[in-house]
Structure 1
């Protein structure tokens, strides 16, 4: 089906002479600023469990709110950012005099329609029915192919993903890209594993399916039969899908086929029609992310009963629209989600409406957010931090013993070429072709989906837009994009506890500095290192250096394989490899950069802690997080990030600088033996 697709990778200002550049940002602050002393649990020795030492009291005193699956430092910051965003949205919704077609009108009307529960209940399935009728009207394979190729079909996560991304090997142009998709559960393994928890989740999913089909008007027997049909088809798709670890093999995703080859190999997918209806008739070829998946889907479309295929599409249409349907549908979806997340209550409507508006019009109200929460001075300070870390990274690369001179030169070229984006886009998104009204939240949702999809498809054949962002300004996150070789830090994360203008350098380098270093290191992790300074998928390492790097990375992988947050649940070192390498590298580089600051050189203690100790405490405190067991299990199975306690402990166990700062000795739990330590940069 037509739909925006992201490349299956973290696809999450050029400075010359960076090796010589010494940019120092000084934010010497008040005593105690930035380090929450009340969070410490001094009954736990720092060399025994630094995660508990840094945040143990906070963990005890901050239970998870009923509507959350976890709660941590990022959650608290996101809550603060939401307060600003909701104030902006409520003002926009109350403004009935905004100019028609303006961003203010669209933001206000979208949010107002999402909050109008009475109108949603009164509408029932009125606005969904035309889309259900389109599915019901399909009578044959040709009709099914037309429906799947229609960019306005609104079939949610059905069958596959198709869209436009930068060409992985020629990133100054766009390519059409097909990828596996079509599952209702979070991952293929949920369908295939035979352990008790997986079976319980599938049983809960069957109940969710059955009850939803009943609400659509099916008899109990028919609803149960249709639910089984959806699970059967999704299980076939799961069996053909690559694992999350396999999906990290970027070169294996690049399988270019001509349209003639596609027609011969996958006639039932009718890619020629897909390209034509999406306005991509000029495309001479297409990249298939997973040929084996495309082959199985081609077989399924030719062999599965048409009625079963329509049942499957019906389900995916409804689940894509659930948030804009009557309360009974939303409640049913939440009941199932509890099985996965463990949340006790549903998020309030304001939270859900905010998230939807952020997804649809994030850069429209994001402009108002940065006006209030992110002054130009904050952007300048963050930029200075980035450049200091870039200088430190250059020195570490030059000093690396295991890397040859040619590979070092290429690595420095890539580092110097990093584009840095901070706070918000220099060019805001144009929403002029998106129509929004207060009549129907569902229609607004579908209009926003069509807008995003068309915006994606329109890129084909045009110069690559290097100004766009994939996160909105209030987002508490950051990312590295290997195809643009850029590191991006939204305004939302450039707030306490990650970044505090009133705090000392140790706090900012241990907090946002480690995040900056983390994103930089993604350019040199096991995936990012496969892209060159221009952002093209190209091996710029010597064979020997590549082998040395992977041997060092494997040490990190084995370390994380051994971490077990719950009984019988182990972190997957291969799935989390990129993030673990980025955490280790990011902390290493941030510390090296911090040691250049006046505070580090002066060595003066604050609140009884040396500058080095405050640096590591700041790092430990940004990862504090309580998490429900259900959520933790899902994270370990599906998330490339390790659980928070291991993001703290894992890197520190390898760092002699940490051991020295807290006088840790051989044999302490926070000290790995010299032969078992991981060191890359």
Structure 2
């Protein structure tokens, strides 16, 4: 639109000039006393584009003014929206992220359907294969049957190990898993990193916590395993399902907690291939497994060594029949989306409805879009970026990122608890950041991937194998710093410690997070705080362990570590006290990194906003000061309604706090108190000494 306006302005000016020239040909000769011809009249300036939300970028209609900001700022900013917005039947929760994800799916669908008629286009063929339910149902389990037969034919421990390796290539999870990433202590090198596995449910607590809710989950899981065995044509399904459950419960007992598994220092354990023998057993022979995976593997990082040793011992004592049954159900669960609805619906009934509370699956076209994005994501992303992310968005975002980075530098300078030598290194780290906005500068090549319009299951298997080889191909090569970990059409952002980067895909750069026509205060409170969040991740409880080169190292002084630890303990305690469901609390330690990101991100975004005003006072708009609009912008992005089952599961598995408490982080900022004047005794009020200040 901006280009069109500029061109139109030029065109409007031309006729006035031409008319003036024409009058000189026909008018009487001028005399010295004659007044000069009137100057051309400039056309009126085009109206300033309006923000998409409200009068200044905030949806004021979604507020609930009956709620005092000091009692619940989240409810004050979002209460009417929360009351009036139902959760769609195909979702476990609904908020700003999911609304934008729906928009992204609609846009991607338009891109895909424009290509569907081209028989040579892989995107169109992949989508067509997913939508062709008649073919999928007609084939039944025939596409996966050869694999299931190979699982049933396992006789020896060597056979089992070979199938674990083969399963990893096609998307079937085994007793341990792995990925190729940077070596945390040598970030210029790639290395295989391996982590604990062996359980089907998302968290060890689901096997081990003894309360009524978890007992119901376990009973439903055993029933689910039995149903899968029946669908595979197996007999004695109930008894065999119980045996799988018993195996996985033993494995859960030796697994590390999520808190320990999130600790960058504890999980950095390097082994040569030969050294992994001390964590192995005859059934889980890690040296043999690694050699079969790739001859390029000479060293490996094992995140949870004691868990690996425990899992290996458990597998050695487990009858082969039970291990085969577990692999059968893992195969059906893992590949269910590419099989008939009898299997897919069964998997969804447990993981979608039981664990998340979601009543129904997404429409097939939405799942088809997801399949295409998982298969040919960057190929679609290239077109998405071209259509929906204009250059001026990237320019404006880069300006915002620079301003927030500068603000972080000023915060480091002003810290009272950080030692001078640590400050210098922290500022050097800040200067070494790479910022990625919108989309990659270099796109992935999918020319080696075969896609067929009538072979959904085959497309999925070939895609998994293609990605598997792509990842293993990194070993021994230079680090691909051009690579992205998210697609342009993904509504999210991330920080990568080893890469020293912060990344903001195109799809999140739209209202309510970012609107180039919105009031700057709202943009700084929205996307500015998201930028600050990702920057501050590099300085949170784990990111701070990586130095200015992206290396995992001890680069802080003991005094810094002690002061930082005291501040983070206070934040852990603050979030531990939150109880979103009766008897279920936020885990302050588990969510610490994200809570630091919210607190620090909002703090530095506020500083960046105030600095952008150049010493001037922001105007009052619709009765709200600039500072009030800033904090409202922050609260607005966290609007979200949850189903109870989804919220309960997130408290176990999601390192992010529930949305209400992400908005509540404002209670630690003095500026919020000045803006909204909460009073002592109100739920969110903290005395100045109780407010957590880190960055």
Q: TM-score, normalised by structure 1?
A: 0.92
Inter-partner Cα distance in structure 2 for 1:192 and 1:676: 35
User: Kindly tell me: are residues 360 and 594 of structure 1, through their superposed partners in 2, closer, same or farther at Cα, counting changes over 3 Å?
Assistant: same
1:210-221 matches, within 5 Å, as 210-219=226-235
Inter-partner Cα distance in structure 1 for 2:195 and 2:268: 11
User: Kindly tell me: are residues 264 and 572 of structure 1, through their superposed partners in 2, closer, same or farther at Cα, counting changes over 3 Å?
Assistant: closer
Aligned to 2:157: 141
1:543-582 matches, within 5 Å, as 543-582=558-597
Inter-partner Cα distance in structure 2 for 1:251 and 1:523: 15
Secondary structure at the counterpart of residue 187 of structure 2: coil
Determine if the alignment matches structure 1 residue 169 to structure 2 residue 185.
yes
- 1:21-79 C-alpha deviation (Å, 9 max, x unpaired): xxxxxx99667131111011111112221101101111111111111111111111111
Unaligned runs of 5+ in 1: 1-26, 99-104
Determine if the alignment matches structure 1 residue 521 to structure 2 residue 536.
yes
User: Kindly tell me: are residues 153 and 602 of structure 1, through their superposed partners in 2, closer, same or farther at Cα, counting changes over 3 Å?
Assistant: closer
Aligned to 2:195: 179
Aligned to 1:111: 127
Pairing partner for 2:97 from 64, 74, 78: 74
Secondary structure at the counterpart of residue 499 of structure 2: coil
Pairing partner for 2:325 from 292, 301, 311: 311
Larger Rg: 2
Inter-partner Cα distance in structure 1 for 2:69 and 2:453: 55
More displaced stretch, 403-412 vs 670-679: 670-679
Shift in Å at residue 113 of structure 1?
0.8
Secondary structure at the counterpart of residue 436 of structure 2: strand
Query: Do the aligned residues in 2 keep the contact of 1:28 with 1:505 (CA within 8 Å)?
Result: no
Secondary structure at the counterpart of residue 87 of structure 2: coil
Aligned to 1:655: 669
Query: Do the aligned residues in 1 keep the contact of 2:279 with 2:286 (CA within 8 Å)?
Result: no
More displaced stretch, 536-545 vs 262-271: 262-271
Determine if the alignment matches structure 1 residue 289 to structure 2 residue 306.
no
Aligned to 1:493: 508
Shift in Å at residue 446 of structure 1?
1.0
1:7-406 matches, within 5 Å, as 32-96=55-119, 98=120, 105-150=121-166, 154=170, 156-219=172-235, 222-268=236-282, 269-279=284-294, 281-336=295-350, 337-406=352-421
Aligned to 1:23: none
- Return structure 1 stretches of 4+ with deviation > 4 angstroms: 27-31
- 1:362-383 C-alpha deviation (Å, 9 max, x unpaired): 1010111111110111111101
User: Kindly tell me: are residues 339 and 152 of structure 1, through their superposed partners in 2, closer, same or farther at Cα, counting changes over 3 Å?
Assistant: closer
Query: Do the aligned residues in 2 keep the contact of 1:532 with 1:540 (CA within 8 Å)?
Result: yes
Secondary structure at the counterpart of residue 682 of structure 2: coil
Query: Do the aligned residues in 2 keep the contact of 1:46 with 1:662 (CA within 8 Å)?
Result: yes
Shift in Å at residue 140 of structure 1?
0.7
Secondary structure at the counterpart of residue 51 of structure 1: helix
Pairing partner for 1:607 from 619, 622, 625: 622
Inter-partner Cα distance in structure 2 for 1:606 and 1:265: 64
Q: TM-score, normalised by structure 2?
A: 0.90
- 1:240-267 C-alpha deviation (Å, 9 max, x unpaired): 1111111122111111222222235414
Inter-partner Cα distance in structure 1 for 2:206 and 2:167: 29
More displaced stretch, 618-627 vs 667-676: 667-676
User: Kindly tell me: are residues 600 and 138 of structure 1, through their superposed partners in 2, closer, same or farther at Cα, counting changes over 3 Å?
Assistant: farther
How many residue pairs get matched?
644
Inter-partner Cα distance in structure 2 for 1:262 and 1:526: 29
Inter-partner Cα distance in structure 1 for 2:123 and 2:246: 40
Pairing partner for 2:611 from 578, 596, 617: 596
- 1:630-673 C-alpha deviation (Å, 9 max, x unpaired): 11100111110000000001x11111101101122333333211
Unaligned runs of 5+ in 2: 1-47
- 1:393-417 C-alpha deviation (Å, 9 max, x unpaired): 1001101111110111111011111
Secondary structure at the counterpart of residue 173 of structure 1: strand
Inter-partner Cα distance in structure 2 for 1:238 and 1:353: 34
Shift in Å at residue 155 of structure 1?
5.6
Query: Do the aligned residues in 1 keep the contact of 2:575 with 2:586 (CA within 8 Å)?
Result: yes
Inter-partner Cα distance in structure 2 for 1:424 and 1:42: 39
Secondary structure at the counterpart of residue 575 of structure 1: coil
